[in-house]
Amino acid sequence: MNKNTKQDCHVRKGGLAMTSAFICVQIIIFFSLSSFAFSEEIKPICDREYFPAVHSLLKNAKSSIYLIMHQIRYYDSHPRSSANLFCKELIAAAKRGLKVKVIIEQSDLEMFSDSSKKNRDVGYRLAKGGVTVYFDPSETTTHCKLLIVDKKYTVIGSTNWSYYALDKNYESSVLIESEKTANYFIKYFEKLRKKCPIKLSSK
């Protein structure tokens, strides 16, 4: 390797190091500014941590609850089940005068017919209790598990409102305290709501 080539390699390595350092600094600045802009507090709520965190949010909600759920269940034979308690808190919040809106998955696929029927049963139960319920387009899968409370708290992750998800499965979710994040997802909720062909409401 001649002298010029060695120098060229040295310059390239130095330039690469500087570029890498610059990129690292930019990434740090970006995340620092993002964190500052959103003022987020993020708390992981995995597995059995999910129920007490969400139950407390629902029970203490002051103004509004928005929910998008892929699977939501109510078990007549197990009145104190975790999923039942969530449904009861939604109805209780609606009776307290809160704005409570729910989007629930429906499917026209035969393989999901049983799940869709169970979702419908819960939807009618919630609507009878004062909750405004929307069913998504049957040809589209709504796989979200999203909750927004009081335009401040967002819960998002893998957890359905069912016995297995709440009491048996390994599930990962996060609770985010951020008005900007909550407002973002409320807009997302409204975007999906406008596409829902069916609305149930007791009002």
Domain boundaries, the chain: 1-38, 39-200
Helix (H) or strand (E) holding 68: strand 64-69
What digits encode the pLDDT tens for the residues 151-201? 999 999 999 999 999 999 999 999 999 999 999 999 999 999 999 999 998
Residues 6+ apart with CB under 8 A from 193: 101, 103, 134
In this prediction, residues 51-80 reach a mean pLDDT of 97
Q: Specify the CATH number for 39-200; select among 2.60.120.260, 3.30.870.10, 3.30.360.10, 3.40.50.720.
A: 3.30.870.10
